[in-house]
Amino acid sequence: MFTLGFSTFVISFLVTGLLFFVVLWIYYDRRDRQYYDRQRIRHVHHCVKCGALYEIRDGSKSENCPDCGFKNAPLRF
């Protein structure tokens, strides 16, 4: 039968626990990065007709103003 010493058991237990937390860290880091990248990608528009500021998150380059309906281009920073 295979025998395992106490020190080997403790070391393997600690390494397994550490590996588990590293995998969780990588998973949540990638998940949060994808979430915040989607939140970050948005376009701010300024209406030249009525002066309203509004944002669009779907990536369209020109959008109608929600107040007056005038088609505006996004602001460039």
pLDDT digits (tens, 9 = 90+) for 7-24: 999 999 999 999 999 999
**Using CA atoms in the order 19, 23, 25, 26, what is the torsion angle rounded to 10 degrees?**
130
Continuous segment of H or E residues that includes residue 59:
none
Residue 1 pLDDT level (bands cut at 50, 70, 90): low
d(CA 57, CA 36): 13
The torsion angles phi and psi of 5, rounded to 5 degrees, stand at: -70, 160
CA-CA-CA-CA dihedral for 22, 24, 28, 29, to nearest 10: 10
Residue ranges of domains in the chain: 1-40, 42-77
Mean pLDDT, the chain, rounded, equals: 84
